[in-house]
Amino acid sequence: MLTIGIVVTTLAYIGGASFSSISGKSSFGGNSVAVLDVQGEIGDVSARATYDHNWTMHTINELIDDSSNKGIVIRVNSPGGSVYTSDELYEELMKYKSETKRPVYFYFQDQAASGGYYIAMAGDKIYANRNTWTGSIGVKTGTLYDVRGLLDKLGIKTNTITSGRNKAMGSMTTELTDEQREILQSLIDEAYNQFVRIVAKGRNMSESRVREIADGRVYSASQAKELGLIDGVCNEEDFFKTVRTFKGMKDVSFDYMEPEKEERVYDLLQQFIQSKSSSGKAAEYQKLIELSEDGNKFTVMYLADIKK
């Protein structure tokens, strides 16, 4: 994740994560294929996260040394996420494949867009539900706001002291220059070119062909299949039946794994909001949580704006 001049306030977990062993639901024993879910935005642990990046990375790493493990299935329902975490997960899956020579299979549920598609380039096979939206091969950033007019209206003056003419680049109280736009665009273009190379490698396409279809749009499952972005379209039950037809997969069991749930500050605040819903101030409390979680970000993301 590329972050420039940011102050971020994050609501933390209560308690720490323990990684002494693979945690969560599992029925290891015999030849098994681990089933992991990537649900929600792909990012570091945050107050509102449904995807636990640290747990997922750790679990994949531990599966490398598990002799009973014969592969991984990743079920994706995600609009994408940060460039950093999407690529980190992709690299961890590629490491798993390289060190174990075991396969990784992907199944796309409601949505597997942008970073959600990026991570699937580590897959040996990719299948999707017929109602899936996928693709969105492109890069975006967080919105940069210019609040100088508002501050003038309110009679508020600001002073920023920097060294280096581009140090305040992206500040809400400083005009973005043409040079700075070019600098930021170069970061976006670099991340886009990386995305193109990853897709070309993962789907055995030329980079020029990938660029033809990588204009940021989402594709339906049937469109993605026609373009060669996925291997098949089926429901989830048939997907698991298909996996068992692959080499070495006939007699495997599927072990559904998920992180243990921990009570978080965010969850406690949500409970507080619900208790105040009758007071008419629930919306104000909710906005406070969102502001404290999001902060003011300039993040380079493999993230689809259009979500199902």
Give the catalytic positions in this structure: 114, 167
Amino acid identity, residue 298? F
**8 A C-beta contact, residue 133 and residue 96:** no
27: helix, coil or strand?
coil
d(CA 223, CA 227): 6
DSSP letter at 123 equals -
**8 A C-beta contact, residue 141 and residue 188:** yes
d(CA 135, CA 115): 9
The strand pairing partners of 112, in sequence order, are: 78, 134
**8 A C-beta contact, residue 76 and residue 112:** yes
| Structure-token pair, residue 209 | 């062909």
d(CA 306, CA 96): 32
Pairing of strands 300-303, 80-82: antiparallel
Q: How far is CA 269 from the centre of its chain?
A: 24
